[in-house]
Amino acid sequence: MIIPSITYKYNDPRDQSWSSGWIITALLNICLLVLLITWSSYIVRDRGMNTIVLGLGVVGIWRHSWGLINFLRAAYFIRSARDATKPIASGSYSLSIILPVYSQSEGQLRAVADGIVNSVRMVPGRILIVCAYRDKAQKELLSEIIENESPFVTHFVRQRGMGKREALADALNIVKASIPIGSKEFVLLMDGDTILTPEAIVRSIGEMQADPQTGAICVNEVPLVKGTKLFVAWRWLRSLQRNQTMSSFALSRRILVLTGRFAMYRSDILLRSEFINRIRKDYLLHKGAYISLLTGDDKTNWLEVLRRGFDVCYLPDVFIYPIEEQNEENNFVKETIALTRRYSGNMARANLHIDAWRGAAGKLHFKYGLLDQRVSMWTSLLTPVALVMLILFDDFDIFILFLTYTFIIKNLQAIAFSGSDYNPVFPYLIFYNQVMTSLVKIFTFAFLHRQKWNNQNISVADNPGMLALDKNARLSILTRSGLFVTFITLVYFVFR
């Protein structure tokens, strides 16, 4: 895997191991684990808490069986992908690349453009690149690199400042007017902060040529991150979790998302007029209200693939380099909440779309995955709520038992997600993500209508309809949270 030249400005998260901080944190983990296990075994012998230990085992089986299933499925899929033949692009075909750029720096755009040039050099077919740019300097820079170094057709379309959906729709119309629609034409949608590896395009086309039922493909990622060490570790953990989840669901030829940073499609999926209109103006009908989708264009693409009945493929051994920068004005908590809110909001709106569930027909694992997206925001709060209640009701011994169980589980999850890329801070980040993501999901599932496009500072305007939806959302959160806390409290006093 070739490392892009821009890496020196960013942190490659794979290089964070075996530093002095890494070793100290690992030793503290081991000491804490030994202390908690010793303390817990003493409590059990002293108070005879076999029922409690059995209860923890039952809760663990219920809570973590889904994670274990996905771990085993992912391990099998990744091993199968490694051992399988790897088709590459061949024969007669055409590829269209759509590249929207926003506030990327000159260095980032050079790295992105160089990645495209290096990747398409391995592609023997006809190439069309459509760049949706914001200002003249971006156009001149991309034109200098792409047009001067590569023998393919390039179009430039200026964005109208109305969001990514408008930019993609305009670019798709250019592609539609330039190439025929058929089984030998492919369209790659990527972001202006994504650096391609040389094999990314040629392997993706090869997989789609090998299986006509494959409608879309996405690949693995190694993020190039600029930020604090904790943020770098958090972003790398998300990528490791993403790889495992994608691999597990890809075994059923379905995945839960097609990312905007790199996804390749068959042209007859994206280039139909009705779909281009849907990209420009998509809606979600929820509880009698039409919610206009400002963001989440990649979810619209994903739903279209499911609607058309195509399979989706994931390549765990093919990589891209997405660039991620922590906002200098945000601390770790504020930055991770902002990113999680964006991810979760788009996920929630896609999950509630009827076409997502129609695409799950005959796919039990995929259907349960959609269901888990709705319920996990509550089940994931069981552990932190239980720990708080044990402190409030002065059950310190049981608190230690539960804390020991939680700490062991989080370490096992960290090892399962990361393998040789293990970082001793991962167990704590997994617990942090569990709590933070659950709270953010509760908010986003209630406030589906609240969206913001950060790259162009576009958001949904306040109006009487939005304010009424806000009121209903607040009531929904209060009602469901109250029922959840009441249920946990009743269970606690019944089994105390």
Percent of the chain with pLDDT over 90: 31
For residue 225, what pLDDT is reported? 92
| Residue 292, φ and ψ in degrees, nearest 5 | -70, 130
User: Is the predicted pLDDT of residue 117 greater than 70, yes or no?
Assistant: yes
User: Is the predicted pLDDT of residue 51 greater than 60, yes or no?
Assistant: no
User: Is the predicted pLDDT of residue 7 greater than 70, yes or no?
Assistant: no
- CA pair distance 114, 108, nearest whole angstrom: 10
Which residue, 229, 224, 279, is CA-closest to 104?
224
- Report CA 451 to chain centroid distance, whole Å: 17
- Global pTM? 0.88
- The gap between the terminal CA atoms of the chain, to the nearest Å, is 55
Per-residue pLDDT of 355-399, as tens digits, reads 787 777 778 889 989 988 888 888 888 888 888 888 888 778 778
- Say which residue the tokens 């660039």 belong to: 323
Element (H, E) at 408: helix 396-418
Give the number of other Cβ atoms within 10 Å of residue 16's Cβ. Answer: 18
As beta bridge partners, residue 459 has 452
For residue 56, what pLDDT is reported? 58
The set of long-range contacts for 478-485, using a CB threshold of 8 Å and a minimum separation of 24, is 480/378, 480/442, 481/442, 484/378, 484/381, 484/385, 485/385
Least trusted range by pLDDT, from 5-9, 94-98, 417-421:
5-9
Mean local confidence (pLDDT), 168-179:
91
Following CA atoms 402, 407, 413, 418 in sequence, which dihedral angle do they give, to the nearest 10 degrees? 170
Strands (E), 308-410: 311-325
As beta bridge partners, residue 95 has 127, 186
Which residue, 254, 303, 248, is CA-closest to 275?
303
For residue 8, what pLDDT is reported? 54
Strand 214-221 to 311-325 pairing? parallel
Mean local confidence (pLDDT), 167-175:
92
- Report CA 362 to chain centroid distance, whole Å: 24
How distant, in Å, are the alpha carbons of 327, 332, 392, 476 from that of 338?
Answer: 10, 10, 31, 22
Mean local confidence (pLDDT), 125-139:
89
User: Is the predicted pLDDT of residue 444 greater than 90, yes or no?
Assistant: no
User: What's the one-letter identity of residue 136?
Assistant: K
User: Is the predicted pLDDT of residue 59 greater than 80, yes or no?
Assistant: no
- CA pair distance 135, 227, nearest whole angstrom: 27
Percent of the chain with pLDDT over 70: 85
Q: Are 421 and 17 in contact (CB under 8 A)?
A: yes
- CA pair distance 481, 374, nearest whole angstrom: 14
How distant, in Å, are the alpha carbons of 262, 265, 337, 389 from that of 270?
Answer: 15, 7, 32, 51
Element (H, E) at 95: strand 94-100
Per-residue pLDDT of 224-251, as tens digits, reads 999 998 999 999 999 999 999 999 999 9
How distant, in Å, are the alpha carbons of 121, 271, 283, 349, 392 from that of 277?
Answer: 33, 10, 11, 19, 55
For residue 393, what pLDDT is reported? 81
Give the number of other Cβ atoms within 10 Å of residue 48's Cβ. Answer: 10
Mean local confidence (pLDDT), 34-63:
66
Mean local confidence (pLDDT), 430-458:
81
Mean local confidence (pLDDT), 267-272:
91
- Report CA 109 to chain centroid distance, whole Å: 23
Q: Which two tokens stand for residue 290?
A: 């039409």
